[in-house]
């Protein structure tokens, strides 16, 4: 169902890899709601994924960019505003990667150059994206910037590894940059803390299936899917949430406020 919530709005969507990714589903929803956008991903991710299919489906252009490169980001923002014919109204940052996780290194045995790389890609890139937009004055007033995060920023999930630290940093950047962006340009900045979701990035985490079924049993409404997250993101891009900024918004079926559920009690009382 479409409500035309984003009619005439323009933006950039980072991180669409394949049809399981939240960025992919968000792009489809933005398209349905009348928004136009440029798709972007790192060249290596583009080779792995099917971003061309999405571009064709939504009538979008692709501008490759490494989100850790200031030069790439400046080029992306300049091209996007040129392609779309004006300043931007929304940006989705849907990027995360831990080299330590990929290489099977435990949290107590990090290789710090791996840590630095993961932090740059997953967290500092959000600051770089916003600083680039800010310096280029590329966002319209009342524009909306959203990044995806996970509750491991607040609570410990042993196998989430150094991504937990990256997410904590990401959420802090949203608050800090959100203050200046709101004050000076009326742009809002928020993070969505999503349920564990079976995306390519999510499934890289050890014990992921157990994780998902536990969260499902703990959440009164069940886990939020990637599609649900796309719908929620649309509301944050729309004019209906103009005064929501600097928030970390839990989108997790109630998991974050549940101490224990009946199902979990029953499972452990067997």
pLDDT in tens, 18-34: 999 999 999 999 999 99
Burial letters 124-152, b for 16+ CB under 10 A, else e: bbbbbbbebbbeeebbbeebbbbbbbbbb
What are the structural domains of the chain?
Answer: 10-268 (3.40.50.720)
pLDDT value of position 58: 98
Q: What is the pLDDT of residue 211?
A: 85
**Sign of the dihedral defined by the CA atoms of residues 128, 176, 238, 225, in that order:** positive
The tens place of each residue's pLDDT in the chain, 270 residues long, gives: 899 999 999 999 999 999 999 999 999 999 999 999 999 999 988 888 899 999 999 999 999 999 999 999 999 999 999 999 999 999 999 999 999 999 999 999 999 999 999 999 999 999 999 999 999 999 999 999 999 999 999 999 998 999 999 999 999 999 999 999 999 999 999 999 999 998 887 777 777 788 899 999 999 999 999 999 999 999 999 999 999 999 999 999 999 999 999 999 999 998
pLDDT reported for residue 115: 98
pLDDT digits 0-9 by tens, 140-157? 999 999 999 999 999 999
The response to whether 15 counts as a known ligand-binding position is yes
Strands laid side by side in the 188-194 sheet: 61-62, 36-40, 10-14, 88-93, 139-149, 188-194, 248-251
Is residue 196 a contact partner of residue 182, using CB atoms and an 8 Å limit?
no
Q: Is 22 annotated as a binding residue?
A: yes
The three-state secondary structure class of 186 is: coil
CB count within 10 Å of CB 30 equals 26
Reading the block at residue 6, the tokens are 């984003």
Closest CA to 130 of 143, 145, 148: 145
Which residues have a catalytic role annotated? 150, 160
Give the pLDDT of residue 109: 98
CA distance 7 to 10: 9
Binding residue per annotation — 167? yes
219 annotated to bind ligand: no
pLDDT at 208: 79
Place of tokens 């970390």: 248
Whose CA is closest to 236, among 180, 192, 179, 175?
Answer: 192
CA–CA dist 145, 32 (Å, integer) = 19
**Cα dihedral across residues 70, 76, 77, 82: positive or negative:** positive
CB 178 within 8 A of CB 127: no
Cα end-to-end distance, the chain, whole Å: 44
């Amino acid at each position: 169902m479409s409500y035309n919530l984003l009619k005439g709005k323009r933006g950039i969507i980072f991180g669409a890899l394949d049809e399981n990714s939240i960025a992919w589903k968000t792009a489809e929803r933005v398209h349905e709601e009348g928004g136009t956008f440029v798709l972007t991903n790192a060249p290596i991710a583009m080779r792995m994924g099917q971003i061309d299919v999405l571009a064709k489906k939504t009538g979008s252009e692709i501008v490759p960019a490494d989100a850790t490169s200031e030069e790439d980001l400046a080029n992306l923002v300049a091209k996007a505003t040129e392609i779309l014919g004006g300043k931007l109204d929304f940006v989705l940052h849907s990027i995360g990667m831990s080299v330590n996780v990929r290489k099977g290194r435990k949290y107590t045995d990090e290789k710090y150059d791996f840590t630095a790389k993961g932090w740059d890609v997953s967290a500092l890139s959000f600051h770089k994206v916003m600083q680039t937009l800010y310096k280029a004055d590329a966002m319209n007033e009342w524009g909306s910037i959203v990044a995806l995060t996970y509750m491991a920023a607040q609570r410990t999930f042993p196998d989430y590894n150094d991504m937990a630290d990256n997410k904590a940093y990401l959420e802090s950047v949203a608050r800090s940059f959100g203050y200046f962006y709101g004050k000076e340009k009326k742009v809002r900045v928020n993070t969505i803390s999503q349920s564990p979701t079976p995306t390519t990035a999510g499934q890289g985490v050890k014990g992921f299936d157990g994780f998902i079924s536990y969260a499902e049993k703990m959440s009164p409404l069940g886990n939020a899917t990637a599609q649900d997250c796309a719908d929620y993101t649309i509301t944050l891009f729309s004019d209906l949430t103009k005064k929501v900024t600097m928030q970390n918004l839990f989108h997790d079926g109630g998991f974050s406020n549940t101490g224990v559920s009946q199902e979990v009690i029953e499972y452990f009382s067997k």
